[in-house]
Structure 1
Amino acid sequence: MVKYIGIICFLLLFWQSSAGQQADERNSIRYMSGALHAGQLQIHSSKIEHFRGVMPVGFGLDFSWKFTSSGAYELCRCYPLLGVSLNYWDFGHDALGSAVSALFYVEPVLFSPWGADLSLKTGLGVSYMDNPHDEETNPENIVYSTPVAFPLMAGLSLDYPVADRWAVRLSAMFQHISNGGVNQPNLGINYTTLGFGVSYKIDDERIPFHPELDSFDASVGERGFRYRFIAGLKEPEGIEDKASVLGLMAEYHDQFARINGWSAGVMGELDTSRPGSLSFKKGRLSAVAGHHFILGRFDFGQIAGVYLLRGHSTHSPWFQYYTLDYGLSDLMEVGVGLKAHGKVAEYLGVRLSFSF
């Protein structure tokens, strides 16, 4: 159930962003692009050595908006793209099958060498996987076990203009698909890709010159304590029943640049998948610290945690926690978070946050 709540939450965030975009059409330029991709499956566990050498191939179609208002430029000192990417992937092995994905992404321009735009593209979304693990018919596939999974992508794109509205697009991406620990087995699919395609500017508008901006005044950056309630769902290895994970998180946040901030705090978790009635066996307490990209009401966090107390063993003494939150008001946020040990996801959860 949590995975569907997470998808709905994410789509609501996208709708809110799109609504704000459409409120001021004159400050946006629409683009359409298509590309072919080829890649290499990454062997991140000895359990999937039999997939070594597998080469996924795919194609994708993107529809995006370039924000050209002074407010958009002020966020990242560039005119960023926000878009939707539709992709088809053939994973190159009968056991892995294929996938159709829809991702929402943001793409700020890093710099523009030789008249081209070099940008950072990051996104997440939802995938339909056509050949999940089955003990009888597909035991070889231990990387995903549900038809619905969640893709993540991050990488670089280079757009080189060849005409007034046309550009050639090159990309290098890291791709990951996982079900967030909702069902086992779930080692996840990791693969790197190279892409070649073209981009077409739909609107006959010129990109404005960059406005002059004052340096960021750190004294006006957002800072303070945030308290988060977390609820997730997981299926532990070797156990068929689903179990819930409940958590509380207290962090201090400090915005030190226009789109950057840091955080530090503690997180407590109650994992109901553990046997026994004593809460200590089910509990974990961690110290956490991380970096945050702050884009308007969106906050994308990359957090590392170290266990201080563990009532039961985990894959590792540390973990990563990736979060996407949206500010409903100055005091409240809602979002999703994915917790992982190394390259293995533990659970995907929803988050409700309050600031003081």
Structure 2
Amino acid sequence: MGSLLNENIALSNRMGRIVVFVLLMFCSLQHELSSQENVSTLPNFWSCGFYCGNLQVHTDKLSHFEGVKIRGLELEYSKWMLTEEARYSFGFYPKWGLSLNFVDFGHSSLGYSINGIAFLEPFLVSGDKFRISGKVGAGLAYLSNPYGSGNPLNLTNSTKVAFPLVGGVNVYYGYNDHWALKISASYRHISNGGIRQPNLGINYPVLGLTLEYATKSYCIPGLTKMGKVRRNNRTEVLAAYSLKSDLDTDEKSNVMLLGFNRCSGGSRLNAFCYSTIIEYQQVGDDDSSIDPWSVGPLAGNEFLIGKLRFGQQIGVYVLRGKKAPNSLFQIYYLRYLVANKMTVGANLKAHGRVADYMAFQVGLIL
């Protein structure tokens, strides 16, 4: 009990020092830039905030973490592209940025994380005072206390390096041309993508409060009609590969996936997608068995972000392999269009709220 108390005190002191450092840096930045009053169509923003929430116990194997509170500090840099060229390319005025997070997971077995996330914000409402945006992001994370012989309770992750994902909604109140207050609600996830087991992942919904500073004044352009919507029709053949760690034996196994994807309709911001996947997950040394094979159709949505495609699909197995725990599955992907001839990217496959594996993929557009 004494060691746990000391660790919590140490974490609180660490977070306190970080808060003081960030506030000093923020005040220094304001003093340096306070004289800049030029109106910009590409304004830069610095923000500092905190968030808190509960760890989501999404499987009985994590029941010992019931009631754990999570706290986080976030420092962000972002740029808002208020140009007609950006609006024509994206269908909205996009804001992109980088964030640095310190997260205290509230339990000695989970420790803390330092992670960096690249994110994009599509704005849904852009008023003079009130603004509403969505937010999606991904990045890299350092985890202090992964699973090991000395830490057997942490089944959420077994590597020091993992991959954080975030999705949420922001509501801004603009105090003046430079300062704004942001209230956010987001869902966050960290796992290693199946590189090593155990890898049940950390899921945590949070609420946050952030103070944002714009280095220059800016004016949000009025929205004008952009003409006829271009249909984003695309048919592609996809191949993906992952080297997955087995939960029981910790041995590496090959995962290969062949997919057929069709996207059509939607709006400037999205398209509807229909897919079929054929998946092979290595099971022992017997390659003649049908056990490694899974087949299933999927349907979902794809967000169009310039040349990026961020998709979410849900599917059901018509042939379920030995490694599949249930009949329903999801695939989340990020793909980049190369000369409108092919796509490259990564996808995360999950069953419910438990990640299965992360795979790298390439696609040929037909």
TM range (shorter): 0.7 to 0.9
Helix, strand or coil for the counterpart of 1:266?
strand
The equivalent of 1:32 in structure 2 is: 46
| 1:34 and 1:60 in contact (8 A); partners too | yes
Alignment match of 2:346 (pick from 336, 341, 344): 336
The equivalent of 2:269 in structure 1 is: 259
Do structure 1's residue 94 and structure 2's residue 104 form an aligned pair? no
For 1:164 and 1:239, locate their aligned partners in 2 and report how far apart those are by CA, in whole Å. 58
1:162-181 residue pairs with structure 2 within 5 A?
Answer: 162-181=175-194
Do structure 1's residue 115 and structure 2's residue 125 form an aligned pair? no
- Give the count of matched residue pairs: 327
Letter in 1 for 2:84: S
Change (3 A) 1:254 1:77: closer
Following TM superposition, the consecutive aligned residue runs of length 4 or more in structure 1 with deviations greater than 6 angstroms are none
The equivalent of 1:289 in structure 2 is: 299
| 1:181 and 1:235 in contact (8 A); partners too | yes
1:161-200 residue pairs with structure 2 within 5 A?
Answer: 161-200=174-213
Taking structure 1 as the reference length, the TM-score comes to: 0.87
| 1:106 and 1:123 in contact (8 A); partners too | yes
The equivalent of 2:224 in structure 1 is: 211
Structure with more relative contact order (C-alpha pairs < 8 Å, separation 6 or more): 1
Letter in 2 for 1:225: T
Alignment match of 1:225 (pick from 231, 235, 249): 235
Give the stretch that moved more between structures: 72-81 or 281-290.
72-81
Letter in 1 for 2:263: H
Change (3 A) 1:209 1:90: same
For 1:184 and 1:303, locate their aligned partners in 2 and report how far apart those are by CA, in whole Å. 25
Do structure 1's residue 278 and structure 2's residue 278 form an aligned pair? no
Letter in 2 for 1:41: L
For 1:192 and 1:256, locate their aligned partners in 2 and report how far apart those are by CA, in whole Å. 29
Give the stretch that moved more between structures: 271-280 or 124-133.
271-280
Letter in 1 for 2:315: G
For 1:44 and 1:113, locate their aligned partners in 2 and report how far apart those are by CA, in whole Å. 38
For 2:252 and 2:198, locate their aligned partners in 1 and report how far apart those are by CA, in whole Å. 13
For 1:311 and 1:183, locate their aligned partners in 2 and report how far apart those are by CA, in whole Å. 20
Task: State, as a whole percentage, how many aligned pairs show the same letter.
Answer: 34
Give the stretch that moved more between structures: 100-109 or 68-77.
68-77
For 2:276 and 2:198, locate their aligned partners in 1 and report how far apart those are by CA, in whole Å. 30
Where do 5+ consecutive residues of structure 2 fail to align? 1-39
Where do 5+ consecutive residues of structure 1 fail to align? 1-25
Deviation at 1:195, TM superposition (A): 1.2
Taking structure 2 as the reference length, the TM-score comes to: 0.85
For 1:38 and 1:297, locate their aligned partners in 2 and report how far apart those are by CA, in whole Å. 34
For 2:130 and 2:228, locate their aligned partners in 1 and report how far apart those are by CA, in whole Å. 26
The equivalent of 2:170 in structure 1 is: 157
Letter in 2 for 1:103: I
| 1:274 and 1:282 in contact (8 A); partners too | no
Change (3 A) 1:112 1:206: closer
| 2:349 and 2:355 in contact (8 A); partners too | yes
Alignment match of 1:43 (pick from 57, 66, 70): 57
The equivalent of 1:80 in structure 2 is: 94
Alignment match of 2:253 (pick from 243, 246, 253): 243
Do structure 1's residue 305 and structure 2's residue 315 form an aligned pair? yes
Structure ID, larger Rg: 2
| 2:129 and 2:175 in contact (8 A); partners too | no
